[in-house]
Amino acid sequence: MMKTKIGYIRVSTQEQNTIRQEALMEALGVDEVYIDRMSGKNTNRPELQKMMEYVRKGDTVIVESISRFARNTRDLLELVERLTVKGVEFVSKKEAIDTTTPTGKFMLTVFGAVAELEREYILQRQREGIAIAKANGVYRGRKPVQRPGFDQVVALWRSGELTAAEAMRRLDMKSSTFYRRVKEVV
């Protein structure tokens, strides 16, 4: 049976660079790489799902760090359990975790919990910062997108020349946004 090294790479946005993670995978002799360019807030990522379906018994999944693979302990442990059931090993280079050992499995749980705690702290500080900024009148949220021709389209809709669905389509707006904005300009 041929054992394959499979790399998983994730960056949060299309603009972020994967070169550092790709260089690591090349240095480790990884045979196949899956790359997602999206948030890791959940496991609903196309390349992650493809990789999870592709892996076979004896393969090893390698990630640069736990945070690239999963953002919370539950998702991390669930993904690793799915790999384990298939007979696939998991290695995270940054945290030096290898699930083929009992210590590696234990450390995986600990590091996953720490990563999740760190993420919660970041979100909490962000919420606190926004609350302070709002209290000081500095933060007002995202500015609404100005749609060219909004007033003309709404006038056609109000006169009955357009349906609401057609008005929303022309303005490229969801219904909740459309009706909220219409109320604002009454």
Output the 3-class SS for 112-170.
Answer: HHHHHHHHHHHHHHHHHHHHHHHHCCCCCCCCCCCCCCHHHHHHHHHCCCCCHHHHHHH
The catalytic position among 12, 67, 92, 159 is 12
The pLDDT mean for the chain works out to 89
Q: Which residues are 89's β-sheet partners?
A: 60
Contact, 69 vs 63, CB < 8 A? yes
Contact, 67 vs 61, CB < 8 A? no
Active site residue 12: yes
Confidence check: pLDDT of 98 > 80: yes
The residue-averaged pLDDT of 123-145 equals 86
Q: What percent of the chain has pLDDT over 90?
A: 51
- How many other CB atoms sit within 10 Å of the CB of residue 94? 13
The residue-averaged pLDDT of 172-179 equals 89
- Specify the pTM: 0.60
